[in-house]
Structure 1
Amino acid sequence: MKWLAKLSLLLSGFITCASLASVYNLPAADSRLVGEQTIHKAVKGDYFQALAESYNVGFFALLAANPGVDPFLLASGHEIVIPKQMLLPFGKREGLVINLAELRLYYYPKGEKLVYVFPVGIGREGLETPHLTDTIGEKRKDPTWRPTAEMRARYFAEHGKEMVREVPAGPNNPFGKYALRIGTSEYLLHGTNKRFGIGMRASSGCIRMYDNDIEWLYNNIPVGTPIRIFEQPIKMSYEENGKKIELHRPLTPDDGSEVKLVMTNAIKNFIGNDDEMLKKVNLLLNNPKGVVISLN
């Protein structure tokens, strides 16, 4: 895609450090809503990747929240939706939770009524990040990168030459400066030596994070922290000021076929007997924006 080449070129000269995680107070057990939607008024020179790093959100999240907006040519004064409000995923609020559909990592520190939210990059089509329940098995500083046999075979098939078998710590290391191993598997949460790919499907299956974000996790979570990874494109919640829904585009499977959101019985039960609301949600299912929508 042409915009990927544009983005890579822009990032080659972009050195601003990403901000740290968004931190929210945990809502009551019967609520899922955190944060507030943010509007950024574009100024000359703004582009989506710079905004993504500045606000610590994902690149794809900005694209979805601002359909039809050129991510590289933002008109001065144009209002850009920054998706800083969200519904917490369904499930236990414990440890690390990664929702692949929204390309976000949630961290619930033990004994604190807070949740930390980070954008992440995940496995691209054909190299999907697995759904799993496990713990953090190991923490590494200045990790050595050793491509798997499968990665080396794929590289040889694509380029006709052998891939390097090991990259030590340093600026050329794809893992960056920190890595957290999931259980005893080959899958890691790690930094990167490239700014490209956070909030996108761009890795070989591992979870990619901004360097400042993975450093914070390295310093603040212990080995043994629970981690759950799943895909949850539809999130709903009954809030004090009405019903809320947040929809994300499902991940494309290995065969490349397009998957669309559909009206499920759970959504119908959530909406109730309201034909106008059903029509509204049907439109949202066809064009998920990844932002919290009020159904009042």
Structure 2
Amino acid sequence: MVLFLHTFSVSAVEYQLPSHGSRIIGKNLTHITEKSEDLESIAAKYNVGFLALIAANPGISPHLVEPGTFIKIPQQLILPVVDYEGIVVNLAELRLYYFEKGKNNVHVFPIGIGRVGRETPLMTTRIRTKRENPTWRPTKEIRKEYLEREIELPAVVPPGPDNPLGTHALRLDYGAGEYLIHGTNKDFGIGLRVSSGCIRMRPTDIVWLFDKSRVGETVKIINQAVKISVEPDGAVFVEAHRPLSRTKEERDKRLVSRPDDLLTEWLGDDSLHAKRYRATLAVQSGIPVEVGTMPL
């Protein structure tokens, strides 16, 4: 178990790609609080998402954590089933992966995505343009939504502290170009479904990605709520996240991914391994759990 006190802080989380046959990267950390803290501030210190930290620490109040509490930091994960290139966004886990060209590593960032009714679409596209100090031109639909909340948005929001796009933005070559990967002028919302469809990053993270990425680079947005890895020794690991709600009614319900029939059969339908697999899907800790072993 790796322990850190409350003074520990990081910006980007970089991982070496796993050896052949494995898809697990990183190790979970344990943060011990020395004073009263909240999970949002702890998430920011370790650059993980707010909901991810809540899922990994059930039973702990997100708003007030007592001194001496052990907080699990979910930094071990299973890579999604994709080509390891460019930018990959997995909506279900609220993470962005950046695979550097020619390097054996991946950088992982927590993100905010589109809320219910304003979902971030699945896509395979590329970066159309990069803008430093972007101007925000809210759509008619967004301005109408704000008016319903008695907030009148201007047609154009110039660069500055009131601009919700933050200081840097990557425009995606999808649709009419209305979807961006951008920063934020707020200190909350990373690791949540809060945007109007764009992908939101912490200010330091978008600056890093802006500098590293290039126009024309591949961007793939996927939705994999359950990730599975069969390791070289036959150990089967499952990482389960809550499936995305598609309606306001679903938002208040407990959604669980359906077990994969083939994996259940391999584990043995009524075996302890299969039961552990189904329990992992139900708990949705967002942390890789060893559920059994496959015959080699």
TM-score, length-normalised on structure 2?
Answer: 0.90
Deviations 1:204-238 (A, max 9, x none): 11000000000001111111110110110111111
* Equivalent residues of 1:235, 1:246 under 8 A apart: yes
1:195 alignment counterpart: 187
- The yes-or-no answer on 1:226 pairing with 2:222 is no
- The yes-or-no answer on 1:120 pairing with 2:116 is no
The verdict on how the C-alpha distance between 1:269 and 1:91 changes in structure 2, with shifts beyond 3 A counting, is: farther
* Equivalent residues of 2:114, 2:197 under 8 A apart: yes
Counterpart CA distance in 2 for 1:247 and 1:202 is 21
How far does residue 282 in structure 1 lie from its aligned partner after superposition?
A: 1.6
SS where residue 249 of structure 2 aligns?
coil
- The yes-or-no answer on 1:57 pairing with 2:48 is yes
- The yes-or-no answer on 1:248 pairing with 2:247 is no
How far does residue 256 in structure 1 lie from its aligned partner after superposition?
A: 2.8
Deviations 1:135-154 (A, max 9, x none): 01110000011111110122
The verdict on how the C-alpha distance between 1:199 and 1:187 changes in structure 2, with shifts beyond 3 A counting, is: same
Counterpart CA distance in 2 for 1:164 and 1:73 is 37
How far does residue 274 in structure 1 lie from its aligned partner after superposition?
A: 6.4
Match of 2:142 among 144, 148, 151: 151
1:13 alignment counterpart: none
Counterpart CA distance in 2 for 1:272 and 1:188 is 45
Match of 2:23 among 32, 49, 53: 32
* Equivalent residues of 2:137, 2:156 under 8 A apart: yes
1:174 alignment counterpart: 164
Unmatched tracts of structure 1, length 5 or more: 1-15
Match of 1:280 among 261, 271, 276: 276
Counterpart CA distance in 1 for 2:39 and 2:63 is 7
Q: Hey, which bits of structure 1, 4+ residues long, moved more than 3 A? A: none
Q: Which amino acid aligns with 2:69?
A: H
Q: Percent identity?
A: 44
SS where residue 101 of structure 1 aligns?
helix
> Which residues in structure 2 correspond to 1:59-98 (within 5 Å)?
59-98=50-89
> Which residues in structure 2 correspond to 1:285-296 (within 5 Å)?
285-296=281-292
* Equivalent residues of 2:32, 2:69 under 8 A apart: yes
Unmatched tracts of structure 2, length 5 or more: 1-6
SS where residue 63 of structure 2 aligns?
coil
The verdict on how the C-alpha distance between 1:179 and 1:19 changes in structure 2, with shifts beyond 3 A counting, is: farther
TM-score, length-normalised on structure 1?
Answer: 0.90
* Equivalent residues of 2:172, 2:179 under 8 A apart: yes
* Equivalent residues of 2:36, 2:66 under 8 A apart: no
* Equivalent residues of 1:61, 1:83 under 8 A apart: yes
